[in-house]
Structure 1
Amino acid sequence: MRMTKAFTALAFAVTLSIPTIVEADEGGVSFWIPGFFGSLAAVPAQAPGWSVTSIYWHDSVSAAGDVARAREIQIGRVPANLTASFTGNVNANLNLGLVAGTYTFATPVLGAQASASLLGVYGSNSSTLAGTLSGQLATPLGTGSFSRFDSINSSLTAFGDLLPMFQLKWNAGTNNFTTYVTGDIPVGAYQSTRLANIGLGHWALDAGAGYTYFDPKTGHEASAVLGFTYNFVNPSTQYQSGVDMHLDWGVSQFLTKQWQVGLVGYLYQEIGCDSGSGDRVGCFRSRVQGIGPQVGYIFPVGDMQGYLNLKAYGEFANANRPAGWNLWLTFNLSPAAPTPPTTSRPRFTK
């Protein structure tokens, strides 16, 4: 009886301290949200001034796996040698609202149109972790096996991190080029002991370049943006995610001057190893791909121009990262193109 109680208490304590399913990019969460860029990514704005972009993003993902562990723990003064394996799955549903204010400068920088943005995040994250911990416990009372199933539910509605961005865009006929630099300011809701978070918990720096082919005469369009993320150490966990590479792309056809249809996709690959004193699994890399349809609509809003875009991705070929599906609904309000000056002909009278 005493031995059974001891094993049960130790197994319960271990269940509370066992990490979530092993996922690269610290918990399978990266700074870059794959799919952020899409069609027309490198096309300059039609006019300088302020513009506002609002995005509703829904993400539904899941992951399953197992972790083998052999670690020393101590409960009070009773040492225990644990050899255990954890098998389980995690499910997460996120509903986020992203709002970005952008100012496009009238004066060119290096021959390009320059813009500066600041993006804020607010929304909810509902996550569930369920799994079974089983293994062997060695105590002064003896050695025996145990198995325990448990689940953790975590929900949060809060503000996320701030993301500044500076971007340059060049136009040469049907060819458009862009380069950007952005990063993460970790001011959002984050706790290392909480399953559901909105904030990232650490600083990050991301930069990249892209290209768009767009022919207004035929309506053909194709875009691709390649970027890389450097992650700083998470001060709460001493975990540092490796360097991430991401490629967002989109192809579309304008059926009219207002309606646009096409495909979007992304490739996300961690190319550096996770590290830091908080990394207990060694070099680890995550990967995921996504593809799906898109539809866009351009329309006037007073003396401004509105652009509405809906795109959805189904994910596949994931490794060490959750996968599922996500949906983006984007509305952009920007200054309309200036009306070309008209010339009036004088009237002649006899």
Structure 2
Amino acid sequence: MSIGKSLPSVRSASAERTGGVPPVPQPSAGRAVHKRVASGRRAEMLAPFVLVAPAVLILVLLRLYPLLLGVNFSFTGDGDRDGAMVGFDNYVDLLRDPLFQGALRNVGLLVLLLPVAVAIPGLLATFIYLRVPGHRFYRSVYFFPAVLSPVIVGAIFNLLLSFDGPVNSILGAFGIGPVDWLGDPDVAMFAVVGVHVWATFGMALVVFLAGFATLDSALLDAARVDGASLTQVIWHVIIPSLTRTIQFVFVTTMIGMLTSMFGLLYVMTSGGPEGSTYLPEYYIWIQQGQMNRPALASAASTVLFVIMLVVGLLQLKLLRRAGRED
């Protein structure tokens, strides 16, 4: 039989198998592969958003939404005007309050002392990275204060810094008169900040050590071959290489100094003497917990948030500019 005569019989057989309906042509294999690739690309593009969505939702519900509520509440009144909109009256009262003015001055002092609070763990981390004798022991000792409660730290230093305490006894052995560390308005804030730095620099030390893990050791070897001193190595090699780490430590240390000193202030000075150790967070607690003025406390919280935001952005800008110049 010829080929031409066999084709009609094949078509009729196919029609019989499908009930008399001609078979529908299937999509090509190339089109199916293209659809699978496009679907995979869409899934790949959506994956980051799906992974980030729970964290964003938590931040919005537990951070952003309460922040907006607090800002809105700061424009309402206290006492007889409870719940009524009062505009910027609370902010005007804040600026007129001597205690809040003192708290803002102390914030300026903290900003000035911030480079010292960052430099201390940075230098200690440098010595540990350079493996000075006993570096493993020092790493454990330096981190130990970070695990202590601020209440315990405050109680310990209340004893050490008391007028007849061990610190003044040591100073007396060198012919230096006793210092009223916690009773002198000109000294108390420096004492509390010093204790806070001692108690918290262990966390910054860990961050710096993590940053050193990314440092190219070839740069240090090249600097040693060129005869660079330790100061030159730190200034021209280590600091430029750890710019991002330094930025992170600056911001986190600043936030810690402005929002995590309540325990020390409460135990060591209770805001005294003469209100000289007030900080915004302690002022907020006084207004909310003792004076029953939640709207004024919300206004103070809003001011504290703005201060942290502005100072943090300025620090990042300055550090980035310094990094580009290096």
Say whether the fold is shared (TM-score over 0.5): no
* Larger Rg computed on CA atoms: 2
With structure 1 as the length reference, what TM-score do the two structures score?
A: 0.25
With structure 2 as the length reference, what TM-score do the two structures score?
A: 0.27
Higher helix share: 2
